[in-house]
Structures are given as structure tokens and as C-alpha cells.
Chain A
Amino acid sequence: MSTALLSLAHVTKAFGADMALDDVSLDLAAGEFFCLLGPSGCGKSTLLRLIAGFEAPTSGTLHLAGEDMAARPPHRRPVNMMFQSYALFPHMDVAANVGYGLKGLGRAGIAARVDELLRLVRLDGFGRRRPDTLSGGQRQRVALARALAREPKILLLDEPLGALDRTLRDETQGELRALQKRLGTTFIVVTHDPGEAMALADRIGVMDRGRLVQVGDAATLYERPATRFVAGLLGDVNLIAGQVADRTGDIARVETGLGSLHAGVQPDAPGAGAAVVVALRPERIVLGPADTATDAEPNALAGHVTEITYLGDRIRHRVRMADGSEIRATVAAGGQAPAFAPGDAVALGFPPGAATLLPA
């Protein structure tokens, strides 16, 4: 606890009967790039506003650098926020916006710091411009410079790239990440875009209906999701319902509508008899001609291709299984034409480690 820069313990926020935040606990280390990911209404923005001090928790505590923040109004917290609308003051020029939070530096000191910040976001020479004469990308950078001016311990960014168009967003992602590494400031970004979260963050916290359901790096969330929600949020996934039959070491055998499947499990995974869902990413499935399946492969399935979609870098197959369910399998295109056509019988296989068991 003492090493965490930000520590939330059992934070709950209720708006009337609505639980915006439900028992959220989270520790953040200094210098981390953290991302809160979830669909709109999941409570991620409420959590951000709570850290900034615009909302007070209904219960639970919030410590920043070891200090309880409960009684601290927003203007006395060592955090700054970049708003989704940027919230640039329309009646002030860029320099006055960036310098608004600076105090005790003297006129010349503030001017020097503002210049430094504008250079940092590559807007030198824009000091006298009004916000309404800037492009969306420029306004975003002014907002960033303004939020960094007071050297906050934590910078909160609410959908920082949400208002930018696609190409600008990709470019800005890289810049934001480079800037964070250079400054060493802890960043907390709120986003609904899984791709953005994965590209930006060291760690991602996935939120669902007020709860923080899983925290981990992108690879962990993608390969070892804790719930069906997390699995589906980060990318396409096949979900096959079943029941654990037995466990041998770290491999569980699951009875499903497709027959017996083998999946790798963690030591704390549910034991025999438990209802589970086998989560399987489409790209982890190996596709082959109908007669190539061998008994050596523990997960050998058969089906018929119903649809093939060429996506440039990969080819997606929809496969109708014997029990009528559908499995999606993708293979890297690699410049090759699709090996199968709709109607072809195919064999599907996957190593046990490619699948994850989730609670049903």
C-alpha cells in the first residue's frame, strides 16, 4: 500500500438507486500508464471524476501519495485533468489557457513555462491564438499542455483522442505514449476503444457496470480474460458452453456440445462438475482439410465452411459444426488465396493452451 501512488479501497458511488461504482479497489504505481476501459455508462468517467475530486465517493477511501483525499477539493489536489471536450477557455488566448494554473512564478516565469509547454506539444508560436481558430488536433494539444502545466502527480485524460479523426488518432497515440515515458508522470486514460487501450497503456482496468472486473496488461487481458465480458470486449472470441469433466495437472477436460475439449487452466480454476465456458480466439484455431485431423491433437473438431471473408491481413472463416453451432476461425492471409471455399469440410484443432476456461 505504501508504495502505491494512488490507492483506491472499496470505493462505491451511488447516484440514487444507480450504482455508478461498485466496490472498486485499485493501486497505481508512480510512472504508470493506466487505462480504464469499458463501454459508456460503465462508471469509468465517474471514477476519473472521483480521482479529480469532482465527485465524492459514497463509501470507500482514496489515498494519493499516502494522503487521504476525502476532504480535499479539486483545486487542492495534485492531479490535473484533460477534459473530453478539452474545455479550453474561449475568452482567453492559448498562452492564457496554458498558464491559467501557474502561480508564484512571476510574469516572466509564467511566460517562460508556457513557452516550454507549447514547445513540448509542438505548438510554439501559437500563444496569441484564440482556441476557436485552432484545429481539433491543436486544441487537443493545448488542453494537454494546460493539464501538464502544474506538473501533476497524476494526469487524468477523459477520452483524449475521442474527438480526433482516425489517422490523427493513431499518430497522437504514439505521441501521447512517448510524452508519458519522457515525463514519467502517471497517466490515467479513460477510453471505450480497446485498441486504444492496448496501444497506450502499461496496464488496463476493464470496467463493467460499475465494477472493475479485471486489471492486467494487454496480453493478459487478451489471452487470459477473467470473464466473458472481458474476452468479448478485447476482440472476437468463440464461446463454447460446457461442464468440467476432470482435470489432469493444468489441463481440464470439458464436455461440450462439440464433444470433449481440452483447455489449459490455472490452479484456482473450477473443478470437476463446474459449468464453464471455453473461450477460444479465432486466430488460435488451426484449420486443415477434413481428413488431416490426427488423434494426437487433443482438440480435433470437424465442420463445414459456410462463409469466407477476406480481410487483407487475414481470412475469416465461419464454420458450421456438427451440433449446429458456429465457430469463427481466422488464418493469416500471407498473400495466399483462401485455401477453402464455402461448403468445404474442414478439420479444426487447437492446443489446450490456446483456450481459456471462464465462469459460465
Chain B
Amino acid sequence: MSVLNRVALGLGLTFLYAPILVLAVYSFNASALVTVWGGFSTRWYAILFADRPLIDAALVSLRVAAASALVATILGGLAALALDRAGRFAGRSLFTGLVYAPMVMPEVITGLSLLLLFVGIGLDRGIVTLVIAHATLGLGFVAVLVGARLKGLDLALELAAADLGAGPLRVYATITLPLIAPALAAGFLLAFTLSLDDLVIASFVSGPGATTLPMRLYSQVRLGVNPEINAASTLLVAGVTVIVLGATWLTGRNAAKAGPTYGA
């Protein structure tokens, strides 16, 4: 790598990660002042774990993330299968666009429209509405991942299984599902982190008793930043990083493992 490339890469990485690094470093600051280094300490993590409302918010976030990711994985997986297998039908590209649209839709719009919908049908805002909203958000990502995986699969694999006497259900359970499982898992993890991160949509659709971690952090920051927020944020970043790395690893294994065909 040339010197110029190294410098460019260094600058880019600094730009991206310096703020997070500062945040992580100051979460270990002994001083209560956010910008003054007072020595190394883990006291803010201790305070954090004793902060009942914050822990509750984290638990809400995890529950919502798990439930919405599950829903998004099932619906997104089915959507991808339908789009891949239905062949050419009128409005196919329209449907594909509709499935992917929520990924690029401004979150304010998604949040507002969902809020209007929930109010319109008289659904009380809380955990359920959060799960529905976040499932909407994650569904498109799952569909993209699973769709890419299906596109790379040799259709003859399923035909071969049917040819060997397997009915449609056995073909699905023993061939299709195992082969798209890595994409489903990666999709689940991405949907999970999207839900965990989301503040905008959650602000619209959550209700009393369903405060998520980002909402809690945001409201505390408005009262003043303290190192406890840094600690909570550091943990959140660490968790999300692990999950995203996991998803990347799964997708990579995906591609390496069942290449579409075996060239001779």
C-alpha cells in the first residue's frame, strides 16, 4: 500500500470512528465532567447497571428487537421466495420495489404513517406497535439478503430432490431451507440491530411503558450528557458491532459455500 493510500485510509477511519472512540474512552473516565479526564474508572458502568429505568428500557429494546426481527425474517423470507419462484408475473418489479421501499423511505415518514395507521385502527401504542413498526423496517433487508441467496442457488437442486421422491414439503425442509438458512440468520441479525438502533420510528409509535433504550438515552442527553450515557452507548455500539460482524460472516460463508454451480 502506498503512503498516500495509507494516509487516505487513516483519515477516513479517523473521521468515522474517532467520535465513537472518544465516547468509549470517556465512558471509563473517573471524573463526572464529560470533557475532563480524571483517571480510569469503571464506576459509570456500575451506576449504569444500577439505573433501573435504563435497564428496563434496554430490556424493552431487546424484546422488541427479537420479536420484530423474527417477524421480519419470516415475512421477508417468504416475500423473497415468492418473488424468486413466482417467475414472471404482471407487476413483479412493482412488488419487488414495494418490498424494498421501506429501506430507503425517510424514517419520519414511516413513523408518521404507522402512527396514523395505529391510531386509525385503534391499536394502543406500546410494545406491539413497536414490534410491527420495526418488522416493517427490517423486512426489506431480509428480503434482499434471502433474494440474493436464492438467485445464486441452482434450481436443479430442488428438482433433483423432487426427482428422488421428495414431496414439496420435504424438498423445502431438507434442501431449500438449509441452503437459505445463512441468509435468514444474517437477515435476522440485521433486522435485530436496526430495531435496536431506531429512535425516530420508535418515538412515533411507542407508548407509555414501552420506552426503548435509544429513546431513554436521547431524553437523558437532553437533560445533560453524563458519563453514564457514554457507558450505555459504548455497550450498545459493542453489541451492534458483534451482531453486524456475525451477519457479515454468515453472508460471506453463504457465498463461499454453495456457489451456484460446480464448474468442472
Contact = CB atoms under 8 A, between A and B. Distances in A.
Interface of A: 52, 54, 73-76, 79-81, 83-91, 100-101, 103, 131-132, 136, 139, 146-147, 149-150, 163-165
Contacts of A74: 159, 162-163
Given A80-B163, A136-B264, A85 B156 contact: yes
Contacts, number: 73
Contacts of A103: 165
Quick one: which of B162, B163, B166, B175 has the most chain A CB within 10 A? B163
B235 interface: no
B154 interface: yes
B89 interface: no
The 9 tightest CB contacts between A and B, nearest first, are: A101-B164, A136-B264, A163-B264, A87-B156, A87-B160, A90-B258, A83-B156, A74-B162, A75-B162
Contacts of B179: 90-91
Nearest to B153: A90
A80 B257 CA distance: 27
Nearest to B262: A139
Chain B interface helix/strand/loop/mixed: helix
B263 to A, nearest CB: 8
Interface string B237-264: 0000000000000000000011001111
22 contacts: A54-B159, A73-B162, A74-B159, A74-B162, A75-B162, A75-B163, A81-B159, A81-B160, A81-B163, A85-B154, A87-B156, A89-B157, A89-B161, A90-B257, A100-B161, A101-B164, A131-B262, A139-B264, A147-B163, A163-B263, A163-B264, A165-B264
B162 to A, nearest CB: 5
Interface residues of B, number: 22
A203 B263 CA distance: 31
Interface string B132-168: 0000000000000000000000101101111111110
A162 to B, nearest CB: 9
A264 B257 CA distance: 61
Contacts of A80: 163-164
B106 interface: no
B178 interface: yes
B184 to A, nearest CB: 14
B174 to A, nearest CB: 8
Given A90-B157, A91-B179, A165-B264, 6 more contacts: A75-B164, A87-B156, A89-B161, A101-B164, A149-B164, A163-B263
Contacts of A54: 159, 162
B165 A101 contact: yes
Contacts of A146: 160, 164
B262 A83 contact: no
Contacts of A101: 164-166
B253 to A, nearest CB: 12
A75 B166 contact: yes
Nearest to A135: B264
Contact of B159 (A86, A87, A90): A87
A173 to B, nearest CB: 16
A81 B156 CA distance: 10
Contacts of B263: 163
